[in-house]
Structure 1
Amino acid sequence: MNWLMVVVGAAVGAPLRYLVDRAVQARHGGVFPWGTVVVNVAACTVLGFLTGAAAATTVPPALQHLVGPGLCATLSTYSTFSFETLRLAETGAKPSAAANVVVSVVAGLAAAFLGGMAGQALLR
């Protein structure tokens, strides 16, 4: 049953990642990969919330599998983040490449932390 929840979450997360990435990038344009930053930070927030919720109360394993390794794992994309960062550096946009790393890591960690705190606070 858990594997099915992962599949269902992934079936939602992967197309959602693509659609959100394209929508954000179309609005902002430029060389900086804002779409990837947005989907990665969103996934960190949701996964942090799930972790906080699981610490505060009992979260059914099926829901954990649906949201964690299903939705969040396919919504976020480390490979695209890495590719885009290398592409920026190789094309001479080294400051943008460095900014992508810093923004992505700091925002992702902050989002996971804040999501976790929100999950604990709301479900106590």
Structure 2
Amino acid sequence: MTVLLLSLAGGLGAASRFLVDSAVTHRQRLSTPMGTFVVNASACLLLGLLTGWTVTRSGYDGVVTVVGVGFLGGYSTFSTASVEAARLLLAGRGVAAVLHPLAMLVVCLAAAAAGLALTG
């Protein structure tokens, strides 16, 4: 049963990623890919909240698996962020190719830490 729920949650996460990424991309005015940035930062915040909430409670392993691994695993995307950085580099935008993923890393770490702190 866990594998089925995990699969369904992963699919819902991927669909949610598509919707959020599309919404951000259609509204942004920047020339850098901000949809993936928003998706990954929000995924880190949510995973931090989930982890912080379950760390002090027992019996929620299934929730962590389905929501954390399934939904948030399908929602977040390291591979797309890497491809976007490579595309910026190949387009001759070396500074953006370095600063964009670096900023994403810093914001994602801060979001995860904030999620943990908010529950602890």
| Cα separation, 1, equivalents of 2:115 and 2:58 | 17
The residue aligned with 2:118 is 118
When structure 1 is superposed on structure 2, of 96-105 and 54-63 the one drifting more is 54-63
The residue aligned with 2:51 is 51
1:52, distance to aligned residue in structure 2 (A): 0.5
TM-score (norm 1): 0.90
Gaps of at least 5 residues in structure 2 are none
Contact 1:13/1:75, CA 8 A, preserved across alignment: yes
Contact 1:53/1:59, CA 8 A, preserved across alignment: no
| Cα separation, 1, equivalents of 2:46 and 2:79 | 19
Letter in 2 for 1:24: V
Deviations 1:15-57 (Å, cap 9, x if unpaired)? 1001100110111144201000000011111111111112122
| Cα separation, 2, equivalents of 1:11 and 1:59 | 24
Contact 1:5/1:63, CA 8 A, preserved across alignment: no
C-alpha spacing 1:20/1:59, structure 2 compared with 1 (3 Å): farther
| Cα separation, 2, equivalents of 1:30 and 1:93 | 14
2:8 aligns to what SS in structure 1?
helix
Contact 1:25/1:35, CA 8 A, preserved across alignment: yes
C-alpha spacing 1:59/1:101, structure 2 compared with 1 (3 Å): farther
| Cα separation, 2, equivalents of 1:59 and 1:85 | 40
| Cα separation, 2, equivalents of 1:2 and 1:113 | 28
Contact 1:2/1:61, CA 8 A, preserved across alignment: no
The residue aligned with 1:28 is 28
1:31 aligns to what SS in structure 2?
coil
Letter in 1 for 2:49: F
- The alignment's C-alpha RMSD in Å is 1.3
Percent identity over the alignment is 36
1:59, distance to aligned residue in structure 2 (A): 5.0
Gaps of at least 5 residues in structure 1 are none
